[in-house]
Amino acid sequence: MDPIKRLYDNRNNLREKNLILNIKIWEYILKNIEEENISKKVKNSETLAFKLLIETSEFKKKDVEAVLTSVASQIFKINSIEFNIEHIEQINMAMVKKKINAILKSPKEIQAHFCKNPNKQTCDEILQREMINEKINLIGLSAYKANPSRYIFDGKLTSNNVGAKSIDVFVSNNDIKPEKYFDSPSDFIDKLVFFGYQKTIMVTGGHQNNQLNDIKKFINLADEYINKNTDNAYFFIQADGDYCVDNMPALENEINNKNKIFAGTTTDVIKWIKNVKKQF
């Protein structure tokens, strides 16, 4: 299946699961939460944070608190006129329940707008990693989330993220786990490893240029690393979505060391990894 289709399907499946959970929490709030069961704290002009003062075995407290906080924010930002409020601290449980009742009476396609959205970057990265593994496990390689977190800066791997860019995915032989490698990189200087940076940008929007600059910075730091080290580390940018494809020539032009750094879609990255492994 096309990687973009899979990424969209994955997001939609997560939204469906989130909606099912949200509906249960909305119903739980209506039946069980009263004003005396919560405390409230104004975080900023648009955020009223809730804390549950009762125990719940059906849901995690933080999930219920997050839904209460979200509904209060929606009331203030969207329905302040209808609820006749000027400040977010004026919101009470009666208002929250009235809003929830309205949501529950809405069609499913409307309810979806009020449920928790999947963290697109996180869920996309997980699926991007899975798609790599589906093709490279057969040649003795595995892709892992880079854990513990590592960054590249000033030609080095570091746990300090100041001025650095994250390594999102670690690829190497099946028996080399990231924690083992990061604990002592010098022990694996003769081993083939890949450090990847992952992005999914479907369409043009407000923050896309910043994300493109993030990719370019990773490329620049990868070039610097290669210039200062003689190990067998390779770097790739796994960039999916129309915006990434449209800007791929600009990313490729940013790369100085084209032998050890590659930018492409999931399909392109898999082919490149296989080719590097074959020639190693």
130-156 average pLDDT score: 96
Q: Output Rg (C-alpha) for the chain, integer angstroms.
A: 23
pLDDT in the model for residue 217: 97
Whether residues 138 and 275 share a domain: the answer is: yes
- Confidence bin at 225 (pLDDT 50/70/90): very high
Is 90 exceeded by the pLDDT of residue 232?
A: yes
Residue for token digits 């804390």? 51
Task: Kindly report the pTM of this predicted structure.
Answer: 0.83
Please report the DSSP string for 242-269 in residue order.
HHHHHTHHHHHHH-S-TTTEEEE-HHHH
Cis geometry, peptide bond prior to residue 148 (ω within 30 degrees of 0): yes
Report, as an integer, the average pLDDT of 208-217: 88
Q: Which is higher by pLDDT, 276 or 122?
A: 276
* Same domain, yes or no: 149 and 194: yes
Whether 44 and 167 share a structural domain = no
Span 259-271, mean pLDDT? Answer: 97
- Mean pLDDT of the region 224-244: 96
User: 230: exposed, middle or buried (C-beta count within 10 Å: 0-12, 13-18, 19+)?
Assistant: exposed
Provide the domain count of the chain: 2
- Are 94 and 133 in a shared domain? no
Which whole number is the average pLDDT over 150-155?
96
Q: Which two tokens stand for residue 94?
A: 């009666």
CATH no. for residue 226? Answer: 3.40.1350
Under the banding of pLDDT at 50, 70 and 90, the label for residue 20 is very high
The mean per-residue pLDDT over the stretch 80-104 comes to: 97
φ and ψ at residue 130, rounded to 5 degrees: -60, -40
140 and 248 share one domain: yes
Same-domain status, 45 and 70: yes
Same-domain status, 90 and 179: no
CB within 8 A of 122, min separation 6: which ones?
none
The rounded mean pLDDT for the chain is 94
Average pLDDT over residues 33-43: 97
| Whether residue 172 is found in the same domain as residue 274 | yes
Tell me, what's the pLDDT at 130? 97
- Give the residue numbers spanning the domain of 77: 3-114
Residue 241 sits at the vertex; the CA angle it makes with 236 and 243, to the nearest 5 degrees, is: 95
Name the residue with tokens 């930018």. 263
Give CA separation, 258 vs 48, 254, 262, in Å.
50, 10, 7
121 has pLDDT over 80: no
The reported pLDDT for the residue numbered 206 is: 58
Report the SS3 class of residue 276: helix
Exposed (0-12), middle (13-18) or buried (19+): which is 170, by Cβ within 10 Å?
A: buried
Residues 158-204 pLDDT 10s: 999 999 999 999 999 999 999 999 999 999 999 999 999 999 998 87
Q: What are phi and psi of 116, to 5 degrees?
A: -65, 125
What is the DSSP annotation of 91-151? --HHHHHHHHHHHHTS-HHHHGGGSPPP-HHHHHHHHHHHHHHHHHGGGTEEEEE-SS--E
Residue 94 pLDDT greater than 70, yes or no = yes
Is the same domain home to 152 and 270? yes
